[in-house]
Structure 1
Amino acid sequence: MSVSLNCVGVISIGEMGLGVARLLIAHGYRVVTFVADRSATTQNRALSAGVEKCQSLREMVCESDYLLSIVPPKDAHDTARRIAAELPSRAAKRSTPVYFLELNAVSPCSARAIAALLAATPSAAVIIDGGIIGGPPQPVDDEHWKSPRLVMSGPNTLPDSRLTTILNVRHVSSEIGAASGLKMCFASLTKGYTALAIQSFTTAQGLGTLPELRDLLQEHFPAMLSRADAGVRSMPPKAYRWVREMEEIGDTFADEGFERDLFYQVAQVYRTVSHDPILGQEQPGQRERGQTAEDVAGILHDALSREREDPQ
């Protein structure tokens, strides 16, 4: 039987969280968040989308039928700990558990550790492991949205079939960690390739052969060039998030017997971008630099050249 639970708490209202919030509001769901400890930009972003602001994290946990954790991977554990601390209050106030959707880009091991934190108050929360594949939801017209795929796993599924459809959910396994692992495998190919493109384009820029590299890719692998361009130019505002995500991928692969070093080095590529004084300042919706692959390559080449000349 399909059960309608109408209040969704979104943690937090970043680019993806905002898109998900707008999607849900457009389909009649009440969406709440707690942003009192966030920047004025984030608070205004929530208000502009019609998201209700809770006065405390406890209020959000108690009000919500579902909690969607969509935070940078480095914050996933701390977010879960903060939610877990409020679950006893939830249990005292409401007889129904909150469905906690762990949607962050973390390894299966991290997902299981997060589930264990929340399971300490078992009557207050139902934990679902998940991963988001694709970009933030965007309206196509007044009735239709282009949405990412949400892969989910664990012994429980969403009780609201309508919400399952709206969020484009595919339940892939009864095991906590399977959906997170699938997300890691997918991201290793997409964001891993973007990291290779960053290094390739930047090195070719230093050699003075970037136009020739692009010509050769266009001649032999046009789809590869298109994918590299899209990844490199959209990457700068998100690079800081991807540092820990690449390390989580390394941890995922290490659990299967591979070395984690490869993706820890990929993480360093994104760390270089996020620390760059130009590219590291880019924000979603407020882009100034790095909007072409050539500009990204030029900025990074100049920065790395300065570092070689003056390593201090």
Structure 2
Amino acid sequence: MPLQHLGLVGYGEVGRIFSAGLHGQFQSCAVWDLKFADPATGAAAQAAAAAGVQALPSMAALCTQSDFILSAVTASNTLAVAQAAAPHLRPGTVFLDLNSASPGTKQQAALVIEAAGGRYVEAGVMTSVPPYGIRVPMLLGGPLAAELAEHLNALGMDAKAVAAEIGVASAIKMCRSVMIKGLEALVIESYSTARAYGVEDYVLPTLAETFPSIDWEKQGAYFFSRVVQHGQRRAEEMRESARTVQEAGFTPTMASAIADKQQAVADQARTGAFAHVGKQATWQTYADALLAARKP
């Protein structure tokens, strides 16, 4: 598969990690992000340049010079990115959609890209990217999935084709998200409430007794930190998980509630409730910040 010019849409955490890990394996590597045009976040373009990645001024510029595009944006922008890229795609461009979206959303995006002459592949990224970098496990779907997986693995990635149809990989990812993001939401609600009543020293040992393989102190701190840092992105992903449940014909009672909890923490983070909390903080410090932010 002769892919030589990499383009990334989105220069957030995932975009930065993938561009850093892959730019040396392509003849060119460029990135475009909406925040490049915002004076308040314009330093992001400078950061990309400093990392050896070309920051471009528009989606059109990115598509014009890329034969392999990775879309790594928030879940709510999945379809919008495909629609924005489609008019500018070079014929045969491979469009790898890394975003956490429902099978239906991915299918809509695929139709847009394929109609424009591109070759769409969906990806379900199966765990947090930072610990793994470009080796993060991902599942691929679409007619080109098997061929692309072989190519990506040769680049040092960990890709597995699971279906020639669009939607299967995303269904796997979204069903998993209900559990993982749900655990985050449950821990935050349970721990913060226990902290409010002063009973955490009784609650956590009972969890350890029931699930002894989990370090509930350490896992709690990790869950809090990830939601505080990425709650908005997680809330959007859970809305797509709710859409996935609806597409299956069920009422997304749990997925919707999880989205609400993730959004609530994201809203607190936006107001500065965790501004004083360090990166290596305990869960108790995060919970205390939520307690301090309670309304009378």
Q: TM-score, normalised by structure 2?
A: 0.87
Counterpart among 260, 265, 273 of residue 265 in structure 2: 273
Partner of 1:134 in structure 2? Answer: 127
Aligned partner of 2:6 in structure 1 is 8
Shift of residue 280, structure 1, vs aligned partner: 5.8
- Report what 1:102 is aligned to: 97
Q: 2 CA distance for matches of 1:195 and 1:279?
A: 19
- 1:216/1:297 CA distance change after superposition, 3 Å: same
Corresponding residue SS for 1:67: strand
Q: CA deviation at 1:238?
A: 0.4
Counterpart residue type for residue 208 of structure 1 = G
1:231 aligned onto 2:223: yes
Q: Residues 113-170 of structure 1: CA distance to partner in whole angstroms, max 9, x if unpaired?
A: 111222222x3x001111212233568xxxxx67211211011134584433422111
SS in 1 for 2:152: helix
Distance 2:238 2:265 in 1: 14
CA distance in 1: counterparts of 2:72 and 2:233, whole angstroms: 11
Q: Kindly tell me: are residues 160 and 198 of structure 1, through their superposed partners in 2, closer, same or farther at Cα, counting changes over 3 Å? A: closer
CA distance in 2, matches of 1:268, 1:290: 26
Q: CA deviation at 1:11?
A: 1.1
Residue 30 of structure 1: which of 28, 31, 39 is its match? 28
**Equivalence for 2:152:** 163
Which of 180-189 and 103-112 deviates more? 180-189
C-alpha contact (below 8 Å) 1:105/1:183 kept by paired residues: yes
Cα deviation per residue 1:172-219 (whole Å; 9 max; x = unaligned)? 111101111111112122111111101000110111112222233334
1:190 aligns with one of 158, 180, 187 = 180
User: Partner of 2:255 in structure 1?
Assistant: 263
The whole-number CA distance in structure 2 between the counterparts of 1:192 and 1:167 is: 28
In structure 1, the residue corresponding to 2:96 is in which secondary structure?
strand
Report the Cα offset of residue 43 of structure 1.
1.5
Partners of 2:236 and 2:259 within 8 A in 1: yes
Indicate yes or no: 2:196 matched with 1:206: yes
Query: Which residue is equivalent to 1:150?
Result: 138
Which residue number in structure 1 is paired with residue 109 of structure 2?
A: 114
Could you tell me which amino acid in structure 1 is paired with residue 256 of structure 2? Y
Paired with 1:42 and 1:212, the residues of 2 have a C-alpha distance of 45
- CA deviation string 1:195-246 (max 9, x = no partner): 1101000110111112222233334424331433322222211001011111
Q: Pick from 46, 49, 54 the counterpart of residue 47 of structure 1.
A: 49
Aligned mates of 2:228, 2:3 — CA distance in 1? 37
Q: What is the aligned-residue RMSD (CA, Å)?
A: 2.5
For these two proteins, the number of residue pairs brought into alignment is 288
Match of 1:20 among 18, 21, 26: 18
Please state how far the C-alpha of 1:26 moved relative to its aligned partner: 4.5
| CA separation of 1:296 and 1:279: change in aligned 2, threshold 3 A | farther
Aligned 8 A contact 2:228 2:269 in 1? no
Residue 162 (structure 2) aligns with: 172
> Following the alignment from structure 2 to structure 1, what is the Cα–Cα distance between the partners of residues 237 and 208?
30
Q: Which runs of 5+ in 2 are unaligned?
A: none
Instruction: Indicate the percent of aligned positions where both proteins have the same amino acid.
Output: 24
DSSP-derived class of the 2:107 partner:
helix
Q: How far did 1:77 drift?
A: 1.9
